[in-house]
Structure 1
Amino acid sequence: MNRQNYVNSPRWSDSSKRTVWLILIGGALLLLYRLRYLLLPLIMAVVLAYLVTPAVKGLQSRFRLPKSVALALVYLLIVAALIAIPASAIPPIANQINNLLNNTPRYIQQVGDFLQKPLVINESIEIPIDELALGPTYTALTTNLLDIIQTVGRQTLAVFSTVASATLSTVGWTIVVLFLSFYLVKDHETLFAGIMQLTPPDYRDEMLRMSEEINKTWHAFLRGQLVLCLVVGMIVFGVALVLGLPNAILLALIAGLAEFLPTIGPVLAAIPAAFLAFFQSESSWIGQAMSPFWFTVLVLGLYAVIFQMENYYLVPRIIGYHLKLHPLVVILGALAGASVAGLLGILLAAPVLATGRLVLLYVYCKLTDQPPFPDMVTALDEVETAVSLRPFSSAEPPASHQTKSVLEKEQT
């Protein structure tokens, strides 16, 4: 076609643009609903890619390896771990969960008997807790509690059994997650550049800043929370071994997972340890030397020390304060996440809420004509002021070009 004969098509009206946008959004939501079974593997792949990327970059920089070689090494280690961990770690954990489930009715009955007689400390101090008449209330509470504990325990055992048996479906979805995360790590720069190309030029600086803030949030939470869970779990495991508490692996697993629930998580993690200390004190070499009451106090005191050290030393250094969320919001988000996506919803509730907070804050600032990132505006004003104060010569580019080049250097 002759270029001179080409005629531009008419521009779309605002109503046409809105109609097209609504159709595109509706189609995307419909497609998302139809392919909702792929959301969980995709989320798991994104999380795995987030965790793997630093290891790949570390191998590249430290050993000067090509990216493909570093990727292959990291994923070979992941595959080896996926084969070795179910074979070595899952059977003892499943046995301890099964043992705890079988003993739970006995523990609950013993607590009921304990509440029906006075509490004697050191054979000299007697506290008449039986006069409080807590027995009927306790029985009513534990009737439903026992059902909940056994249901959760059976579901957990079913998950471990599925992983340990490595059914065809489990292996297939694991391969899908590994392949998706592999290509996300391999091509994440290209994917991000493509997304930025679709962003209107006037919004690219703000979208870059938004992506940086979201990346900080997920970086701080995912990698930091994983390290925190491992550290707290290992400390609890070591303390349980030294004290001689039964089910040390299970107590460590509970303590590690409880880190995803701020404030209330450590309290929940200490409850099974207190039960074991009180009702199985004879299994511990320290518990044999003191009464069950004081052994339970010792265990709870050590748990309090561990979680205070976590709050005041580990959390600020490992995770920091990037989430900026109140613990109550995180707890409510975890409960909502559990109803939507089960265990994964609990684990990812905090970073999802923090990301939503950033997006809502950006939208609010746009609706109220405020700068969403005031420090960017301040930096722009400072650069423009500095450029305007310099003597202008014909050899120098205009101030607007200087400002743009300076900002581009800052972004790079």
Structure 2
Amino acid sequence: MTFRQQARFWLVFTIGFFFLVWLFSSILLPFVAGMAIAYFLDPLADKLEARGISRTVATSIITALFFLVFLFVLLLIVPMIGSQLAGFLERLPGYVDTLQTNVGPYLQHILDRVAPETLQSVSDAIKGQTANALKWVGNVLTNVLSGGLAFLNFLSLLFITPVVSFYLLRDWDKIVAKIDSYLPRRSARDIRQCAREIDDTLAGFVRGQSTVCMLLGLFYGLGLTLAGLEFGFVIGLMTGLVSFVPYFGMIAGFAVGFGVALAQFGLGLDLGIVVIVFLIGQLLEGNFLTPKLVGDKVGLHA
């Protein structure tokens, strides 16, 4: 195949690929999820295969363990988190009333010292951002829950994704080799090197950041629970899970945790313990977890 023919093939393939993605976007979720799972589990399968275990056996073990853990989380952890989250939302108006009663006079004293036009501009900005956030959340929920495909997508994720993951993971090296055979021979080495660097960086970042989020969620959840904070586990877990967004996760989690602690404990030692938990978590993330689990993987060192 000449270079011109290969270029024409890849152009047609790319256009056809994106057309098919657009055409079947409503049913692609389990296949995309299966491909992502196979991609991130492939290094583990390669290690087992290097130890003399057949690819099929290694794939069976890894896929079974992965989805057993997934089912454990789905059946045990998620209901517990959902219960705590529902309880937190139910108690939220009470927390707000308590804060208004206990903190309101101090806040009003501070606001009285602020120029009215400044206060109004801040209030308008907060209202605008809140409205935008609520609109975004509403759109997401509408897209997720609307239509009869929501339940179908859940079932397909539950039953089709494991099958897709297994076969893709088992034949991953063959698929990569097949794609490699279509590369232009004159540029194949450069393309492989570029793809390898992208793969190492992307996979290292995603795996590392996911590990950081899970460890932070567990730390905050256990720390706030031991501190006696109501709904501490779900607040801490959510803080960790959204910490992949720089600063937002920590600020949002701290604001919620501090507000609940202030309403529950008032000004005192217990409130200070909650603050210390967040400070320790931030120190762990900035000085140990992110540099070691993310920075080293993508070639960025503190």
With the shorter chain as reference, the TM-score category is 0.7 to 0.9
1:115–1:130 CA contact under 8 A, matched in 2: no
- Identify if the C-alpha distance between structure 1 residues 81 and 96 changes in structure 2 by more than 3 Å, giving closer, same or farther: same
- Identify if the C-alpha distance between structure 1 residues 144 and 31 changes in structure 2 by more than 3 Å, giving closer, same or farther: closer
Structure 2 residue corresponding to 1:45, chosen from 34, 37, 40: 34
Question: Residue 354 of structure 1 corresponds to which residue in structure 2?
Answer: none
1:116–1:129 CA contact under 8 A, matched in 2: no
Q: Distance in 1 between matches of 2:11 and 2:176?
A: 25
Q: Which residues of 2 match residues 85-164 of structure 1 at below 5 A? A: 85-114=73-102, 116-118=104-106, 128-132=109-113, 141=126, 145=130, 152=137
Question: Residue 174 of structure 1 corresponds to which residue in structure 2?
Answer: 158
TM-score normalised according to structure 2 size: 0.78
Question: Residue 320 of structure 1 corresponds to which residue in structure 2?
Answer: 295
Residue-by-residue CA offset, 1:207-235 (whole Å, 9 max, x unaligned):
11111111112221222122212211121
- Identify if the C-alpha distance between structure 1 residues 197 and 84 changes in structure 2 by more than 3 Å, giving closer, same or farther: same
Name the SS of the counterpart of 1:320 in structure 2.
helix
Residue-by-residue CA offset, 1:38-61 (whole Å, 9 max, x unaligned):
443333223211332233334444
Name the SS of the counterpart of 2:291 in structure 1.
helix
Question: Residue 243 of structure 1 corresponds to which residue in structure 2?
Answer: 227
Residue-by-residue CA offset, 1:258-308 (whole Å, 9 max, x unaligned):
221123322122121111111122xxxxxxxxx436643442333122112
Q: Distance in 2 between matches of 1:201 and 1:34?
A: 32
Q: Distance in 1 between matches of 2:198 and 2:96?
A: 45
Q: Distance in 2 between matches of 1:57 and 1:30?
A: 33
- Identify if the C-alpha distance between structure 1 residues 317 and 25 changes in structure 2 by more than 3 Å, giving closer, same or farther: closer
- Identify if the C-alpha distance between structure 1 residues 196 and 101 changes in structure 2 by more than 3 Å, giving closer, same or farther: same
Residue-by-residue CA offset, 1:91-126 (whole Å, 9 max, x unaligned):
22111111121222333344445564137xxxxxxx
Figure out how many residues of one structure are paired with residues of the other and give that number.
290
1:44–1:177 CA contact under 8 A, matched in 2: yes
One-letter amino acid of the structure 2 residue matched with residue 32 of structure 1? V
Q: Distance in 1 between matches of 2:245 and 2:99?
A: 26
Q: Distance in 1 between matches of 2:246 and 2:78?
A: 26
Structure 2 residue corresponding to 1:304, chosen from 271, 279, 289: 279
Q: Which residues of 2 match residues 371-382 of structure 1 at below 5 A? A: none
- Identify if the C-alpha distance between structure 1 residues 131 and 206 changes in structure 2 by more than 3 Å, giving closer, same or farther: same
Question: Residue 374 of structure 1 corresponds to which residue in structure 2?
Answer: none
Residue-by-residue CA offset, 1:149-169 (whole Å, 9 max, x unaligned):
79959x88xx89xxxxx9565
Deviation at 1:198, TM superposition (A): 0.9
Residue-by-residue CA offset, 1:74-101 (whole Å, 9 max, x unaligned):
2222332333322211222111111121
Deviation at 1:148, TM superposition (A): 5.3
Deviation at 1:132, TM superposition (A): 3.6
Question: Residue 408 of structure 1 corresponds to which residue in structure 2?
Answer: none
Structure with greater helix percent: 2
Residue-by-residue CA offset, 1:118-149 (whole Å, 9 max, x unaligned):
37xxxxxxx94252469978876469849957
Matched, 1:80 2:99: no
1:277–1:296 CA contact under 8 A, matched in 2: yes
Q: Which moved more, 1:27-36 or 1:301-310?
A: 27-36
Query: How many percent of aligned residue pairs carry the same amino acid?
Result: 21
1:255–1:266 CA contact under 8 A, matched in 2: yes
- Identify if the C-alpha distance between structure 1 residues 304 and 107 changes in structure 2 by more than 3 Å, giving closer, same or farther: same
One-letter amino acid of the structure 2 residue matched with residue 87 of structure 1? L
Q: Distance in 2 between matches of 1:212 and 1:19?
A: 24
Deviation at 1:309, TM superposition (A): 1.9
In structure 2, stretches of 5+ residues that fail to align are none
- Computing the radius of gyration from Cα coordinates, the structure with the larger value is 1
Question: Residue 268 of structure 1 corresponds to which residue in structure 2?
Answer: 252
Q: Which has the higher contact order (CA 8 A, sep 6+)?
A: 2
One-letter amino acid of the structure 1 residue matched with residue 288 of structure 2? Y
Structure 1 residue corresponding to 2:55, chosen from 60, 67, 81: 67
Q: Distance in 1 between matches of 2:24 and 2:136?
A: 30
Name the SS of the counterpart of 1:245 in structure 2.
coil
Residue-by-residue CA offset, 1:152-203 (whole Å, 9 max, x unaligned):
59x88xx89xxxxx95652223322222222221111111111111111111
1:101–1:150 CA contact under 8 A, matched in 2: no
Matched, 1:33 2:22: yes
Q: Distance in 2 between matches of 1:86 and 1:150?
A: 28
In structure 1, stretches of 5+ residues that fail to align are 1-10, 120-126, 161-165, 282-290, 326-412
Q: Distance in 1 between matches of 2:178 and 2:280?
A: 49
